[in-house]
Amino acid sequence: MMWGLLAAGGYSMFLGIKAKKVRTGTAEQRKALIPGKFAQRHYRWGSLLLAVMVTGMIGGMAVTYINNGKLFVGPHLLVGLVMTGMIAIAAALAPFMQQGNVIARKAHVGLNMGMLTLFLWQAFSGMEIVNKIWVNR
């Protein structure tokens, strides 16, 4: 599920970058890109990403607790919490971005690009946990 989510994150980034091109490109580029509805599609994929990430993080903690009777307060748990906070704040900036607020726009892109970078690392630490469960099964 999390590898699928990482792919969805990459796709959302692609759509966001296209949406920026629609906003800032030359008249010709804009004309060619507008039918792609990139901003709407980015918003839809972004919302899906947010919902599944919140569910996955809470679910990951629930499953870990049910299996072990405790949580392992380590990098995977902490980075997961930070990532979820970052994407939630970035999503909350959407209405302000749509009103043209430049600070909200910069913060949105910065938070989400940082979040995706953490996701790459989270996939590695996640696979370490998978390995551990596999070996100790």
Q: Does 19 participate in binding ligand HEM (rule CB under 6 A)?
A: yes
Neighbours of 108 (CB within 10 A): 21
Q: Does 18 participate in binding ligand HEM (rule CB under 6 A)?
A: no
Query: Which residue of 29, 72, 85, 117 would you call a contact of ligand HEM, by CB under 6 A?
Result: 72
Maximum distance among all alpha carbons in the chain? 60
Residue carrying structure tokens 């796709």 = 11
Binding residues for ligand HEM, total number by CB under 6 A: 53
Query: Which residue of 117, 121, 123, 136 would you call a contact of ligand HEM, by CB under 6 A?
Result: 123
CB 28 to ligand HEM: min, Å: 18
Q: Does 77 participate in binding ligand HEM (rule CB under 6 A)?
A: yes
The span from the CA of 11 to the CA of 6, in Å, is 9
Amino acid at 104: A
Give all strands (DSSP E) within the chain, no chain letters.
Answer: none
User: Which residues, including other chains, have CB under 8 Å from residue 126's CB and lie 6 or more apart?
Assistant: 2, 76
Amino acid at 123: A
Q: Which of 115, 93, 116, 114 has the alpha carbon at shortest distance from 105?
A: 93
Contacts with ligand HEM, residue ranges (CB under 6 A): 2-3, 6, 9, 12-13, 16-17, 19-20, 23, 39, 42-43, 46-47, 49-50, 53, 56-57, 60-61, 63-64, 67, 71-72, 74, 76-77, 80, 83-84, 87, 90-91, 94, 97-98, 105, 108-109, 112-113, 116, 119, 122-123, 126-127, 129-130
